[in-house]
Amino acid sequence: MTDGTPQDIEWRLARSARSVGRARTLLAAQARAWKVPDEIADTAVLLLSELMTNACRHARVSPGRELRARALVRADTLRIEVSDASSAQPQQRDAGPGDESGRGLALVAALADAWGTEPRPHGIGKTVWCELRIPADDVRSGGGPLPSGSVRGGWRAGACGGPPRRGTRPS
């Protein structure tokens, strides 16, 4: 991990099924660079995949609109965000044993320490986010720098319209 300085990276991707795999690959590589413990990185990649898939399938937006995937590490938390231009809120479903889909948000709720949604700045769309805590004994020092041009100012205003709202896992 890093020396405690927040790390932040964002990717803009087309709203297509191919972008889901690309986002997974990008996050896995970045988690290695940040020295996020493997188990937490693997879970983060899975959760990003679910959030990206939901945005690709359910965000009803004009052609050409992109998705934004973002990863942030701050102290003992890895936060994953997916933003789209649709204001439709995600709905957790009760998938039956024979259903081939409908388990994504249940998986996010089960594996994330917290998750939620928030409106994007300027009233266009939403951000769906989840957080994973990194146990203190897993935090390693000496993480390498982010690729040039990819670092943002952590939680600073403007990165997501201000500090993230805290949420809790639904009961």
Condensed to tens digits (0 to 9), the pLDDT of residues 129-146 reads 999 999 876 544 434 333
Structure tokens at 154: 């952590």
* pLDDT (0 to 100) of residue 47: 97
Verdict on whether the full-model pTM lies above 0.85 = no
- Give me the domain span that covers residue 125: 7-91+100-138
Tokens representing residue 151 in the block = 């670092």
Is the pLDDT at 95 greater than 90? The verdict is no
Report d(CA 14, CA 61) in Å as an integer: 12
Residue 127: inside a domain? yes
Mean pLDDT, the chain, rounded, equals 77
Q: Is residue 128 part of a domain?
A: yes
| pLDDT of res. 27 | 97
Whether 162 is in a domain gets the answer no
Nearest to 34 by CA among 108, 144, 122: 144
> pLDDT tens, 57-92?
877 767 777 899 999 998 899 999 999 988 888 877
Tokens coding 128: 């769906």
112 pLDDT exceeds 80? yes
Pick the residue with more confidence: 41 or 99?
41
- The span from the CA of 170 to the CA of 109, in Å, is 7
Nearest by Cα to 5 from 161, 165, 153: 153
Q: Which of 63-72, 90-99, 145-154 is predicted least confidently?
A: 145-154
The three-state secondary structure class of 34 is coil
Gyration radius of the chain's alpha carbons: 15
8 A C-beta contact, residue 10 and residue 150: yes
- The encoded tokens of residue 143 equal 């993480």
Please report which confidence band the pLDDT of residue 100 belongs to, taking 50, 70 and 90 as the band edges.
Answer: low
Residue 5: pLDDT over 70 = no
The pLDDT score that the predictor gives to residue 145 is 33
Q: Does residue 46 have a pLDDT over 70?
A: yes
Domain containing residue 82: CATH number:
3.30.565.10
Number of structural domains found in the chain: 1
- Within a domain: 170: no
38 in any annotated domain: yes
